[in-house]
Structure 1
């Protein structure tokens, strides 16, 4: 097995000591590429090309541990072995405590010891980096799980005759959580409330804002706020909590009457829901989409009343589902093409959500850029 060449940067202003290090490495035929810097400033320019640094603490432009601290503060700093003077173990121990991988005493090192020291330092740094990345990944996963629970909670529809199905797929190759959220609540009088929303942007700040809005929506609904006032209050919450002046949120809110024969929906810059009966999509009454939350102060959203035929299903979705690409077409997928795809899958059977998302993703040629969330309400009678 061929040993990987290690790039070593020697930071040493003394020509005699530098020549000794080079001779020791040649003595053991070490698979190293050696570069040299005479000052700290010069070493900083060469740092990105090194796997290991042999650092003398007595440099013309640095004294004590200053050079070590400066190099360790650089992004992705390599392993650092400190070179100390004769009988100066205390300085070496202090350097290790400050972040060096190890130290070597000048004049007490032969080629084999230097070879082992460099290899040990490089492998220890790689191990430390791997452990750090693993810890960071676990922390990010835990934070993502907390945000996801806040964005996509279990619905409060116990003992309701309205069935609910939901799907969520994060967008992009990195599979990061965005700001899509949904929720559904059943009230004591039998009314069912549901919302789906999309905070503009993609990342932890947007996800946190989505959690805030979703929790505020549930609290407003449970407190008995009139549907016409819920979006207005959410708008105020968004303006107060958003992390940037231009941040807005689209939303679709639906209320289903206790007799399940009618519904009302409110649109804040969001795609309108899709009403389905059997294997066909029923046209909804013409509606005013309304502006997104966070755009116009004191804006009043109005609802659109919809009769619900027996066996109805009502699908609300975020625009990630219609903004994918289509082969040989410069336009996005769009609502019309989505409806064509959906009706094809409805003819096959009622469990269409996963297959529709899969087809839209395939048409896009890979992962969709934006998140996809779908909330499906169904007549359970």
Structure 2
């Protein structure tokens, strides 16, 4: 009987979550494609420096950060499906603005302004679509499976980023950059179609809602650890292509693919670890692995070792979000789940928004290898924060 019940639960999970995973994958494929295209486009085509590259890349995360409170409130009050679909629509808008930046005859500064506008819209779309999809998925399959929902959402997210970058490089080389940007519009349509048949969640309009700033305080233990851990990922996504170029190591696509593959495989094979061994313990081990990966990239004498460092970073970073995220949503009522997820993810956004410009300054001052020393130091800072928080929790209990 238990086997039959388990099989039925697995079928229900797959029925509701598979469309959401496809939708999330399509959205993050657009983000991976822009990450694989924008650094080289800003530096080589528009002829701006490393700081501007960092600003352009980080602007999306900053926009996501600033709209997390709004996306969480909209998700809780208007429904996860509404929030998700509004985010998908904005991806299409961002794609249209991206495409305008490569219009014939447009000036470089005008193109940069349009690019920044597109990054802002893309950032808002991420906030709405991801908060909506996570809340939608957890609501459809139940809170006890929230860790599994986060795990598979994360797989879709980083698989999209990892595959999007090399796909964008190939499309640009074969057809032109305008087709890379136009593809984001097509992918937004695929994302919408994937979840069109899923039911909407009921909204409890009578629940008295906790202010966003109080939610941030409740989940700050998990959020700070996530923020520091995310910097290593930001360093790879923003500067690994330029790092390879500075050393004449050829196409960096394998670095993106290796990071994403290791990230996804770690989630697939070790997704039960946070439940079995505890979120903080898994996060600490993961951070140690990520730190080693960042150091390996920084001191790599060959592209093969740098790629191996990207793989270690993917392994280490993979389980941080679900390990700490499950603990975060346990601190709020179900009616506030969207707001809690928005607040938790805001720490991730803040990290990426700040890491890009800071890493750009570091790269301009000390070279691209130093960017990954910055990433390693951030992993160490996350370890210190989590150890201190564990001590504080022990004293409180």
Which interval holds the TM-score relative to the shorter structure?
under 0.3
User: TM-score normalized by structure 1?
Assistant: 0.28
Point out the structure with max Rg over C-alpha. Answer: 1
Q: Which has the higher helix share?
A: 2
User: TM-score normalized by structure 2?
Assistant: 0.27
